[in-house]
A and B are shown apart, each in its own frame.
Chain A
Amino acid sequence: DTAVSQTPKYLVTQMGNDKSIKCEQNLGHDTMYWYKQDSKKFLKIMFSYNNKELIINETVPNRFSPKSPDKAHLNLHINSLELGDSAVYFCASSRLTGISTGELFFGEGSRLTVL
Protein backbone atom coordinates (compact mmCIF):
# COMPACT_ATOMS: atom_id res chain seq x y z
CA ASP A 1 0.00 0.00 0.00
CA THR A 2 1.34 3.40 -0.98
CA ALA A 3 1.58 5.64 2.09
CA VAL A 4 1.23 9.01 0.33
CA SER A 5 -0.18 8.90 -3.16
CA GLN A 6 -0.71 11.80 -5.49
CA THR A 7 -2.28 12.03 -8.92
CA PRO A 8 -1.58 12.73 -11.66
CA LYS A 9 2.14 11.95 -11.85
CA TYR A 10 2.53 14.03 -15.01
CA LEU A 11 0.51 17.01 -16.15
CA VAL A 12 1.11 18.93 -19.38
CA THR A 13 -1.16 21.87 -20.05
CA GLN A 14 -1.43 25.24 -21.74
CA MET A 15 -0.97 28.63 -20.11
CA GLY A 16 -4.20 30.00 -18.72
CA ASN A 17 -5.74 26.60 -17.97
CA ASP A 18 -6.89 25.43 -14.53
CA LYS A 19 -5.67 22.14 -13.12
CA SER A 20 -5.85 20.11 -9.91
CA ILE A 21 -3.53 17.67 -8.16
CA LYS A 22 -4.91 15.24 -5.61
CA CYS A 23 -3.17 13.73 -2.60
CA GLU A 24 -4.17 11.02 -0.16
CA GLN A 25 -2.32 9.50 2.79
CA ASN A 26 -3.16 6.29 4.64
CA LEU A 27 -0.73 6.79 7.51
CA GLY A 28 -3.23 8.30 9.91
CA HIS A 29 -1.23 11.54 10.08
CA ASP A 30 -2.95 14.73 11.05
CA THR A 31 -0.81 17.11 9.02
CA MET A 32 -0.37 17.36 5.27
CA TYR A 33 1.76 19.63 3.10
CA TRP A 34 2.32 20.84 -0.42
CA TYR A 35 5.91 21.53 -1.44
CA LYS A 36 7.15 22.88 -4.79
CA GLN A 37 10.47 21.72 -6.24
CA ASP A 38 11.87 23.91 -9.00
CA SER A 39 14.20 23.00 -11.84
CA LYS A 40 17.24 23.53 -9.57
CA LYS A 41 15.80 21.01 -7.09
CA PHE A 42 15.08 23.70 -4.51
CA LEU A 43 12.18 22.52 -2.34
CA LYS A 44 9.91 25.13 -0.81
CA ILE A 45 6.82 24.73 1.33
CA MET A 46 3.59 26.16 -0.02
CA PHE A 47 0.85 25.10 2.37
CA SER A 48 0.26 22.96 5.43
CA TYR A 49 -2.99 21.66 6.89
CA ASN A 50 -3.47 20.22 10.35
CA ASN A 51 -6.74 18.35 10.87
CA LYS A 52 -8.27 20.14 7.85
CA GLU A 53 -7.20 23.55 9.17
CA LEU A 54 -4.73 25.70 7.22
CA ILE A 55 -1.69 26.37 9.44
CA ILE A 56 0.97 27.43 6.95
CA ASN A 57 0.36 29.58 3.92
CA GLU A 58 3.62 30.79 2.46
CA THR A 59 3.82 33.63 -0.02
CA VAL A 60 2.02 31.81 -2.79
CA PRO A 61 -0.09 33.50 -5.49
CA ASN A 62 -3.79 33.22 -4.73
CA ARG A 63 -4.16 31.32 -8.00
CA PHE A 64 -3.13 28.36 -5.85
CA SER A 65 -5.91 27.10 -3.62
CA PRO A 66 -5.49 24.08 -1.37
CA LYS A 67 -8.46 22.16 -0.09
CA SER A 68 -8.57 19.50 2.60
CA PRO A 69 -11.92 17.64 2.65
CA ASP A 70 -10.69 15.42 5.49
CA LYS A 71 -7.39 14.86 7.24
CA ALA A 72 -6.39 12.08 4.83
CA HIS A 73 -6.74 14.23 1.71
CA LEU A 74 -5.17 17.47 0.54
CA ASN A 75 -5.78 18.70 -2.97
CA LEU A 76 -4.19 21.59 -4.83
CA HIS A 77 -6.06 23.59 -7.44
CA ILE A 78 -4.21 26.04 -9.67
CA ASN A 79 -6.04 28.67 -11.71
CA SER A 80 -4.77 30.55 -14.77
CA LEU A 81 -1.56 28.56 -15.05
CA GLU A 82 1.63 30.45 -15.93
CA LEU A 83 4.93 29.26 -17.38
CA GLY A 84 6.61 29.79 -14.01
CA ASP A 85 4.29 27.28 -12.39
CA SER A 86 6.15 24.49 -14.15
CA ALA A 87 7.71 22.41 -11.38
CA VAL A 88 7.34 19.19 -9.45
CA TYR A 89 4.74 19.43 -6.70
CA PHE A 90 5.12 17.13 -3.72
CA CYS A 91 2.52 16.20 -1.20
CA ALA A 92 3.74 15.09 2.22
CA SER A 93 2.32 14.14 5.60
CA SER A 94 3.59 13.97 9.16
CA ARG A 95 2.63 13.95 12.79
CA LEU A 96 3.08 17.15 14.71
CA THR A 97 4.28 16.42 18.24
CA GLY A 98 3.18 19.69 19.71
CA ILE A 99 6.64 21.16 19.86
CA SER A 100 8.40 20.03 16.72
CA THR A 101 7.88 18.71 13.22
CA GLY A 102 8.62 15.02 12.83
CA GLU A 103 9.66 13.19 9.72
CA LEU A 104 7.80 13.91 6.53
CA PHE A 105 6.50 11.16 4.28
CA PHE A 106 6.48 12.30 0.66
CA GLY A 107 4.49 11.27 -2.35
CA GLU A 108 6.23 10.55 -5.63
CA GLY A 109 5.54 14.01 -6.99
CA SER A 110 3.42 15.51 -9.77
CA ARG A 111 5.44 17.04 -12.59
CA LEU A 112 3.55 20.00 -14.02
CA THR A 113 4.63 21.41 -17.38
CA VAL A 114 2.96 24.59 -18.60
CA LEU A 115 3.40 25.33 -22.30
Chain B
Amino acid sequence: SQQGEEDPQALSIQEGENATMNCSYKTSINNLQWYRQNSGRGLVHLILIRSNEREKHSGRLRVTLDTSKKSSSLLITASRAADTASYFCATDAGGTSYGKLTFGQGTILTVHP
Protein backbone atom coordinates (compact mmCIF):
# COMPACT_ATOMS: atom_id res chain seq x y z
CA SER B 1 0.00 0.00 0.00
CA GLN B 2 1.03 3.57 -0.53
CA GLN B 3 3.24 5.04 2.19
CA GLY B 4 2.24 8.67 1.92
CA GLU B 5 -1.27 10.03 1.78
CA GLU B 6 -1.74 13.70 1.08
CA ASP B 7 -4.54 15.97 1.99
CA PRO B 8 -6.19 17.83 0.41
CA GLN B 9 -5.97 16.35 -3.08
CA ALA B 10 -6.54 19.82 -4.52
CA LEU B 11 -6.32 23.30 -3.07
CA SER B 12 -7.34 26.57 -4.71
CA ILE B 13 -6.41 29.90 -3.13
CA GLN B 14 -5.83 33.57 -3.96
CA GLU B 15 -2.42 35.12 -4.32
CA GLY B 16 -1.14 36.33 -0.96
CA GLU B 17 -2.96 33.66 1.04
CA ASN B 18 -1.21 30.83 2.85
CA ALA B 19 -1.43 27.24 1.62
CA THR B 20 -1.18 24.24 3.92
CA MET B 21 -0.78 20.68 2.71
CA ASN B 22 -0.68 17.60 4.90
CA CYS B 23 0.98 14.24 4.52
CA SER B 24 0.45 11.07 6.56
CA TYR B 25 2.57 7.95 6.42
CA LYS B 26 2.50 4.47 7.88
CA THR B 27 5.97 3.27 8.89
CA SER B 28 8.86 4.78 10.83
CA ILE B 29 11.11 7.00 8.77
CA ASN B 30 14.64 8.38 8.53
CA ASN B 31 13.47 11.54 6.85
CA LEU B 32 10.57 13.09 4.98
CA GLN B 33 10.96 15.25 1.91
CA TRP B 34 8.73 17.61 -0.03
CA TYR B 35 8.87 18.08 -3.79
CA ARG B 36 7.18 20.37 -6.27
CA GLN B 37 6.20 19.39 -9.80
CA ASN B 38 5.15 21.98 -12.34
CA SER B 39 2.90 20.75 -15.13
CA GLY B 40 4.85 18.66 -17.63
CA ARG B 41 8.12 18.96 -15.71
CA GLY B 42 10.24 16.88 -13.39
CA LEU B 43 10.06 17.01 -9.60
CA VAL B 44 12.09 19.59 -7.75
CA HIS B 45 13.25 19.06 -4.17
CA LEU B 46 11.99 21.68 -1.72
CA ILE B 47 12.97 20.62 1.77
CA LEU B 48 14.09 17.61 3.82
CA ILE B 49 13.23 17.12 7.49
CA ARG B 50 14.89 14.41 9.57
CA SER B 51 12.99 12.19 11.98
CA ASN B 52 14.57 13.93 14.97
CA GLU B 53 13.51 17.38 13.76
CA ARG B 54 10.10 18.93 14.41
CA GLU B 55 10.13 22.02 12.23
CA LYS B 56 12.16 23.43 9.38
CA HIS B 57 12.03 26.64 7.37
CA SER B 58 13.22 27.56 3.92
CA GLY B 59 12.22 30.97 2.59
CA ARG B 60 8.41 31.02 2.44
CA LEU B 61 8.21 27.31 3.24
CA ARG B 62 7.65 25.86 6.67
CA VAL B 63 7.58 22.12 7.25
CA THR B 64 6.56 20.37 10.44
CA LEU B 65 6.95 16.73 11.35
CA ASP B 66 5.08 14.83 14.06
CA THR B 67 6.50 11.32 14.23
CA SER B 68 4.04 10.29 16.96
CA LYS B 69 1.17 10.98 14.57
CA LYS B 70 3.18 9.96 11.51
CA SER B 71 2.29 13.19 9.77
CA SER B 72 3.88 16.24 8.22
CA SER B 73 2.62 19.55 6.91
CA LEU B 74 3.95 21.98 4.34
CA LEU B 75 2.99 25.61 4.70
CA ILE B 76 3.61 28.07 1.89
CA THR B 77 3.18 31.63 3.10
CA ALA B 78 2.18 34.62 0.96
CA SER B 79 1.54 32.41 -2.05
CA ARG B 80 2.22 33.56 -5.59
CA ALA B 81 0.74 32.48 -8.92
CA ALA B 82 4.13 30.87 -9.65
CA ASP B 83 3.55 28.47 -6.73
CA THR B 84 0.85 26.75 -8.79
CA ALA B 85 2.05 23.14 -9.03
CA SER B 86 1.62 19.67 -7.57
CA TYR B 87 3.31 19.08 -4.23
CA PHE B 88 4.44 15.64 -3.09
CA CYS B 89 5.71 14.31 0.19
CA ALA B 90 8.17 11.42 0.10
CA THR B 91 9.40 9.23 2.94
CA ASP B 92 12.70 7.47 3.44
CA ALA B 93 12.00 4.44 5.59
CA GLY B 94 15.61 3.21 5.67
CA GLY B 95 16.35 -0.38 6.67
CA THR B 96 15.57 -2.78 3.85
CA SER B 97 14.05 0.17 2.00
CA TYR B 98 17.41 1.92 2.01
CA GLY B 99 17.79 4.11 -1.06
CA LYS B 100 14.06 4.19 -1.78
CA LEU B 101 11.75 7.16 -1.43
CA THR B 102 8.04 6.45 -1.31
CA PHE B 103 5.86 9.24 -2.65
CA GLY B 104 2.37 10.34 -1.71
CA GLN B 105 -0.25 10.98 -4.37
CA GLY B 106 0.28 14.72 -4.23
CA THR B 107 -1.71 17.91 -3.67
CA ILE B 108 -2.54 20.06 -6.67
CA LEU B 109 -2.20 23.70 -5.64
CA THR B 110 -3.71 26.45 -7.76
CA VAL B 111 -2.93 30.05 -6.84
CA HIS B 112 -5.14 32.59 -8.56
CA PRO B 113 -3.63 36.02 -9.32
Interface residues of A (CB under 8 A from B): 4, 31, 35, 40-45, 48, 50, 55-56, 90, 92, 96, 99-109
Interface centre among A40, A44, A101, A108 (most CB of B within 10 A): A101
Please, which residues of chain A bring their CB within 8 A of the CB of B86?
A: 41
Check A50 against B42 for contact (C-beta < 8 Å): no
Instruction: List 15 contacting pairs A-B, 8 Å CB cutoff, sorted by A.
Output: A4-B42, A41-B106, A43-B88, A44-B103, A48-B99, A55-B99, A96-B98, A96-B99, A99-B30, A100-B94, A101-B31, A101-B99, A103-B48, A105-B45, A108-B41
Check B42 against A31 for contact (C-beta < 8 Å): no
> Bound state CA distance, A104 and B2, in angstroms?
19
Query: Chain A residue with minimal CB distance to B37?
Result: A41
Size of the chain B interface, CB-CB below 8 angstroms: 27
Cβ-neighbour of B42 out of A41, A56, A109 (below 8 A): A109
Please, which residues of chain B bring their CB within 8 A of the CB of A96?
A: 98-99
Interface residue ranges of B28-47 to A (CB < 8 Å): 30-31, 33, 35, 37, 40-45
Known contacts: A101-B30, A103-B33. The answer to whether A42 contacts B94 by CB under 8 A is: no
Please, which residues of chain A bring their CB within 8 A of the CB of B88?
A: 43
Query: Chain B residue with minimal CB distance to A48?
Result: B99
Known contacts: A100-B92, A106-B43, A108-B41. The answer to whether A42 contacts B105 by CB under 8 A is: yes
Query: Chain B residue with minimal CB distance to A55?
Result: B99
> Bound state CA distance, A45 and B42, in angstroms?
14
